[in-house]
Chain A
């Protein structure tokens, strides 16, 4: 009998939550590849005692995973700013941010303002800016000269280009076709017609596409091996390739680069809000933010960090995005719900076309 009691006691002790670790001492982040550099996480642990656990993901998976658990399992997420409101309205996966706990003066005011505008529902803010960048064109200038997304479909590049089979590609081609899809967000019928047109363009372009990439290494290796001549790609990837091979350049397309902005958002059932705020304030410190930029190659929303960034990256940035191009960046507005389902069917058709 005594042995039985002892066994039950042992079991209950080992199974109690405390045995798995103190929630306030760990921060579970779901984010993109490289968004949490190891040395930055190490310094954070040294300063606060909180260890960071990262799960790699992308916009769609982030939403799916949080939806599956009703917003549990992670303490911080980093979706793109345009993907927050729709998901929040449909699935309620985030909790409102307590802005009094954030050192707002560390942020670049314009980015902060844009993000707040795009992530506020019923007066509650759900997102803060973290990292931004652009989607444009990467091209091996030794083999090709291109100016805009539609150039990827020129007959000379058969089997030599790549892009993602995701909505940014559709937006890019819509702009390249001379339309403004964002202006049509409120007019589903016109928007749908535009997307059909984009779909037809992509299907016609498919013979040029070597693969639809879904991880960055696949594309980077495609350029390195010479299999890919030109691609729709994000800026930091282009700059990385440029450092390895000066012939490869990242350029802003004539119709405008697409501007994306990834955020900090707190899942509805996050268990360590204090840790999440601490991480936000920590990573927005100019010295820390500059180190993050060095690893990822994209610029953060931290005020004053840009000055600390590697001069080579600054030069690359200036060359790829001169003032005119910078002004021409198309920033994603928040997506109304329902659009993605319709876009999805068109993407499926592109995938199935031969």
Chain B
């Protein structure tokens, strides 16, 4: 076989190998987004005109309700990410540095088990525990802490608990992997040179774990921002989550154009926060994603 023919063949092979990936990228990611982007620039169907405009985005800024919910979603997501980090760090530290081989796998398992059942069932589980006629309020009455069962659902705190619970694993995993790679002798050396617990954490542990922390925070923040079930079910009448707003626009109001615009606003928020997170922590995107 001649040399050029051979080259053509290998090029053909390369093209064939790339096809599934490219198709996936174009058909399932690129096209729907382009479609939604165009949709978000159209006026509401039935209004007559078909001219592209920013009116759907305008509605978002004109109606205080929408951007209130938007800002609230962003703030609560940020708070929940921070709480998740605070809860996950000691767990990850225990798994990576303190637990013995066996305990370590059990601890990992304990973090993983909730994910064996669907998010709906998990959230309903929380509802059974926390509702007025549920397990926890009954227990509080029995222990004499409250006189009558109290409603523990439908509060912001409930939403936060649910969100932290749902995202814990996604914070623990990158944290464990980055803490595991921290040489114990570095911590000992820091102590030996006169460091105290918090100083060692600040000067040695956190800088070393920074890529893992950033990765965990980005993943958790994005998951929380895009979560629909947990805030809706646990927040009940007061949930006010932006994804719910998008769902309502698409499904209840038939206002796909508005829903698409909201979707893009949420996407931009996500991107902006990831960018800001990387800037603040001084991390490289590729490096962080490898950790995640």
Contacts and interface: CB of A to CB of B under 8 A. Distances in A.
- Asked whether any CB of A lies within 8 Å of a CB of B in the complex, the reply is yes
A156 interface: no
Interface stretch (B173-181, B223-231, B234-242, B266-274): B234-242
Nearest to B236: A211
B255 A351 contact: no
Given A64-B251, A212-B237, A225-B131, 6 more contacts: A64-B254, A227-B131, A227-B133, A338-B46, A340-B253, A351-B239
Given A60-B252, A344-B252, A159 B151 contact: yes
Interface of B: 44-46, 63, 65-66, 68-69, 131-133, 151, 154, 236-240, 245, 248, 250-256
B237 A352 contact: no
A344 B253 contact: yes
A344 B248 contact: yes
Nearest to B256: A67
19 contacts: A60-B253, A61-B251, A64-B250, A90-B45, A159-B151, A165-B237, A206-B237, A210-B132, A210-B151, A210-B236, A227-B131, A338-B46, A344-B252, A345-B63, A348-B65, A348-B248, A351-B237, A351-B239, A352-B68
B133 A60 contact: no
Most buried by B among A165, A337, A341, A345: A341
A341 B253 contact: yes
A19 B35 CA distance: 32
A249 to B, nearest CB: 21
A330 B44 CA distance: 30
B134 to A, nearest CB: 9
Contacts of B251: 60-61, 64
Interface in A153-190: 159, 165-166
Interface of A: 60-61, 63-64, 67, 87, 89-91, 159, 165-166, 206, 209-212, 225-227, 337-338, 340-341, 344-345, 348-349, 351-352, 354
B251 to A, nearest CB: 5
A267 to B, nearest CB: 16
B238 to A, nearest CB: 7
Given A60-B251, A63-B254, A348 B245 contact: yes
Contacts of A351: 237, 239-240
A192 to B, nearest CB: 15
B58 to A, nearest CB: 14
A211 B253 contact: no
A103 to B, nearest CB: 34
Q: Report, nearest first, the 4 A-B pairs whose CB atoms are least far apart.
A: A225-B133, A344-B253, A60-B252, A90-B46
Contact of B65 (A166, A226, A338, A349): A349
Nearest to B44: A341
Nearest to A89: B46
Contacts of A159: 151
A282 to B, nearest CB: 31
